Amino acid sequence: MTAGVSPPAHAELDGMLDELAQGVATWTAMPLEERADLLLRTRTAVDKVSRRWAEVAIRIKSTPPSVRGEEWLSGPYIIMAGLTRLAKTLRVVAAGGSPVDGIRTGSAPGGRLTFKAMPLGLQEALLFNGLAGEIWMPPGSASAKSAPAPVSAPSPRVTPAESASSSGPETPR
């Protein structure tokens, strides 16, 4: 916490969780194209404050000049790239495609299907030189046919209030 700022009271937190739950309901009811548009508008908003974001992070952390670019990469850039990729994925699904179409697949121990997660494209390969990431599906999913089918409007499995009172993090789908 920042000096001089007290934590929110339980009633205030409950209000925040209610607002979040309302947002979840709005998001899940929204058509995929509208979700993609919202993500791109959010990206534009982040872009407008990206310079300030990086400058504040550099100042607060006293980042030396030689590594200041990392504040851009780990802050505004990664958020904007993620928002762009999510919007693109939603548009693919809205058009009836699969988010894994065109993604390189492989196999891993235990009959697991793998998907290349990064780098996806020359820009990422240059930017994240030497880094790579894969998504491993559960054991027994050894073919692309067993990959998750696209879903038009997934409903949340846990409400924010339920999540806050759960014993641990939810396992991703």
In 3D space, the residue among 86, 11, 5 whose CA is nearest the CA of residue 41 turns out to be 86
Banded model confidence at residue 127, pLDDT cuts 50, 70, 90: confident
Banded model confidence at residue 46, pLDDT cuts 50, 70, 90: very high
Q: Residues of the chain with pLDDT > 90: what percent?
A: 52
DSSP conformation class of 118: E
Q: Residues of the chain with pLDDT > 70: what percent?
A: 79
Lowest mean pLDDT among 16-20, 91-95, 130-134, 141-145: 141-145
pLDDT of residue 171: 36
Lowest mean pLDDT among 55-69, 81-95, 156-170: 156-170
Average pLDDT (57-61) is: 94
pLDDT of residue 157: 44
pLDDT tens by residue, 32-44 = 999 999 999 999 9
Helices (H), the chain: 10-29, 32-61, 69-72, 78-94, 122-127, 160-165
Of 112-116, 123-127, 152-156, 158-162, the range with the highest mean pLDDT is 112-116
The answer, yes or no, to whether the previous bond of 119 is cis (omega within 30 of 0) is yes
pLDDT of residue 42: 98
pTM, full prediction: 0.67
Main-chain phi, psi angles of 115, to 5 degrees:
-125, 135
Average pLDDT (162-169) is: 40
pLDDT of residue 2: 55
